[in-house]
Structure 1
Amino acid sequence: MSTTDASRDPAIVPDDKDWTWVLREPCPECGLVTGEVEAAAVGTLVRDSLSRWRRVLDRADVARRRRPDVWSDLEYACHVRDVLSVMHDRLRLMLLEDDARFANWDQDATAVDDDYAGQVPGDVARALTSAGERLAAAVDAVPADAWGRTGQRSNGSTFTVETLLQYLWHDVAHHLVDVDA
């Protein structure tokens, strides 16, 4: 199977779980107690994770899947890059609009449509770093009176700015565990 074919592999089961439960209880897979994360620190946490992601993307086998039914480290890095961008946009929307409504984002369709498995690791590293720095700057600029502003995902899950950022950090931290970083 070529690298490009890997992103279309039917062995990858789409993740249709609603992961918002991590805001209420510890994640048994990565160990993070998401609800205890200080949302104002998420910018720093994201910035601190960027060098780890760059090291992952420098691996010689970054595009190899450890198992046929699990993304490669490259695919996880592409996903995190896109999560950082999507969450930046959602944070911005929450700060601009009362009870913001988020457009649907199908992460599995994005992985296929954008050919995560075929992307160039160096390009992904630069884009992930840029998205992370942009998100971190936005977190650092959240006004003190904005942490309780709300937004709603297309499936009805409601977030505050605080819980959105906690949820975001879980995604990044969880995938660092997935890639052994």
Structure 2
Amino acid sequence: MNPVSGEGSSKPRSMAGEPSPADIPPDDKDWTWTLHRRCPDCGYSAAGVTGATVGAVVLKAAERWQSVLARSDVRVRPAPTVWSALEYGCHTRDVMIRMTGRLALMLDEDEPTFPNWDQDETAVAERYWEQDPVTVARQLADTAETTARAFSGVRADQRSRRGMRSNGSQFTVETLSQYFLHDIVHHLHDVDG
């Protein structure tokens, strides 16, 4: 069933009545391997990344996103089943929000289980392809500030606090930071940012 329309496999429609872009195949990969190996696509390596470096990387990435989201072709998908730069920008903004929330849970609770988040469902439900790039750029910059402050504010004695996804993947604050940064770096690579 389509999570937006509730009408079986029918595609959601845009405000103008046009069908939404082609469905993106769900990303069902477990990206936790990036904690132990360099990503062959974007070159990211978690080695050497600490909670103290997260804030600077997030702010620099948000700066680079401003140029990406100002491109004239920001809504154009490079292939029918690959997100546009706008869609990746929306996703990056939302990843920052989710990871900041997960960090807060880890600091406030003992070994919490994170609420599930279906990124693909969110992209459709929030109609990423229709969002305003100027608004997304502003939201991304604001969210990056909040995220950078949150991760930079983690004390050394909090870096080993633990949390887990519902699938059992366990993180410390330190490994969550490393995992999160891969997402930020990788999506800039996806859009040649």
> Aligning the two structures, in what range does the TM-score lie when normalised by the shorter sequence?
over 0.9
Number of paired residues? 178
The residue identity in structure 2 corresponding to 1:66 is: P
Do structure 1's residue 105 and structure 2's residue 117 form an aligned pair? yes
Comparing both structures, which one devotes a greater share of its residues to helix?
Answer: 1
1:129-176 Cα offsets, whole Å, 9 max, x none, are 111110100011101200000000111100000000111100000001
Could you tell me which residue of structure 2 aligns to residue 5 of structure 1? 20
Do structure 1's residue 129 and structure 2's residue 141 form an aligned pair? yes
1:96-120 Cα offsets, whole Å, 9 max, x none, are 0010110000000000000000100
TM-score (norm. length: structure 2): 0.89
Could you tell me which residue of structure 2 aligns to residue 63 of structure 1? 75
* Structure number with higher relative contact order (C-alpha < 8 Å, ≥ 6 residues apart): 1
Do structure 1's residue 85 and structure 2's residue 97 form an aligned pair? yes
Q: Distance in 2 between matches of 1:170 and 1:36?
A: 13
TM-score (norm. length: structure 1): 0.95
Q: Distance in 2 between matches of 1:138 and 1:96?
A: 13
Moved over 6 A (4+): 1-4
Q: Distance in 1 between matches of 2:19 and 2:176?
A: 32
CA deviation after TM superposition for structure 1 residue 39, in Å: 2.5
What percent identity do the matched residue pairs reach?
Answer: 52
Instruction: Select the structure of larger CA radius of gyration.
Output: 2
1:168 corresponds to which of 180, 189, 193: 180
User: Which residues of 2 match residues 16-31 of structure 1 at below 5 A?
Assistant: 16-31=28-43
Q: Distance in 2 between matches of 1:61 and 1:144?
A: 43
Which secondary structure does the structure 2 equivalent of 1:159 belong to?
A: strand
The residue identity in structure 2 corresponding to 1:24 is: H
User: Which residues of 2 match residues 35-74 of structure 1 at below 5 A?
Assistant: 35-74=47-86
Which secondary structure does the structure 2 equivalent of 1:35 belong to?
A: coil
Q: Distance in 2 between matches of 1:54 and 1:129?
A: 8
Q: Distance in 2 between matches of 1:73 and 1:42?
A: 23
CA deviation after TM superposition for structure 1 residue 4, in Å: 6.5
Do structure 1's residue 158 and structure 2's residue 173 form an aligned pair? no
Which secondary structure does the structure 1 equivalent of 2:20 belong to?
A: helix
Return 5+ residue gaps in structure 1 as ranges.
none
Q: Distance in 2 between matches of 1:141 and 1:36?
A: 18
Could you tell me which residue of structure 2 aligns to residue 119 of structure 1? 131
Return 5+ residue gaps in structure 2 as ranges.
1-12
Q: Distance in 2 between matches of 1:68 and 1:156?
A: 33
